[in-house]
Amino acid sequence: MTPDIKPFVAGNWKMNGQRDSLDQLALMARGVDEALFDKVDVVVCPPATLLYVATTLSEDTPLMVGAQDCHREAKGAHTGDVSAEMVADCLGEFCIVGHSERRTDHGETDFHVAGKAQACWRAGLTAIICIGETEAEYDSGRAEEVLGRQLAMSVPEGATEKDTVIAYEPVWAIGTGKTPSPDDIRDIHAFIRDVLVERFGGHGERMRILYGGSVKPDNATELLSVNNVDGALVGGASLKAQDFLAICESYRKV
């Protein structure tokens, strides 16, 4: 954790969830009460098809809703894409951009990611900008070089703690059950903090840096106890309300 930064837990449902998953969303909305919200900000990012119904279900609760991606343009001839303005129109407040699965599946570059982050800001959304090295990059000791480049090119000028959250997700830890050691996470998050402070001054000091990759109820507390880990971006364990709320609860107690 970072003193004075409110922890933040985001659930990324990825391409999972149909209407029959809405009972899980309703349970999450019920579970994120004022007492929890007092200590932790909680966001769930369902697929775009469920976005509007998710914001409706969480209306009048502190649970917040986000999307998993957006186009850099506000509207136009881009078949199949969703704009940040459309997310805002569905009452979403956040949008994940630059997830490694989009970088791999859709060839998104840092340049695209920066454009999407700016689109989020234009629409009044907070961008959750993902960065992360591959296993080969990690094994060859190039993690910081890769992350430094991603931070420099994916995070646009002028980012603040209000419109931007950084999520460090080592690609090799996503969905694998593997996580870096707490010492490794501490070193990488310290590196990310230094880069953010150098570029954005006080905003960089206050910007939340999440860890993502195989976060589960049983390792959440240990991970959040690491310096400069201000929360989690949770994939698989965010699909079930019980697991997701258990992670949020453990963050409340830290």
Q: Tell me the catalytic residues.
A: 99, 169
The reply to whether 175 sits near ligand 13P by the rule CB under 6 A is: yes
How far apart CA 33 and CA 37 sit, in angstroms, is 6
Taking CB under 6 A as the criterion, the residue among 63, 82, 155, 234 binding ligand 13P is 234
Which range binds ligand 13P by CB under 6 A, 84-92, 110-118, 235-243, 246-254? 235-243
Judged by CB, which is closer to ligand 13P: 102, or 193?
A: 102
Residues 6 or more apart whose Cβ sits within 8 Å of residue 140: none
Per CB under 6 A, 106 contacts ligand 13P: no
Give residue number: closest CB to ligand 13P: 235
How many residues bind ligand 13P (CB under 6 A)? The answer is 14
How far is residue 71 from each of residues 184, 233, 248, measured CA to CA in Å?
33, 21, 30
Binding mask 10-29 for ligand 13P (x = CB under 6 A): --x-----------------
Nearer to ligand 13P, 118 or 238 (CB): 238
* Cβ contacts of 159-162, under 8 Å, gap ≥ 24: 159/117, 159/200, 159/203, 159/207, 160/200, 160/203, 160/207, 161/203, 161/206, 161/207, 161/208, 162/126
Q: Binding to ligand 13P by residue 233, rule CB under 6 A?
A: yes
Could you count the other beta carbons within 10 Å of the beta carbon of residue 249?
17
Which residues here bind ligand 13P, judged by CB under 6 A? Answer: 12, 99, 169, 174-175, 212-215, 233-237
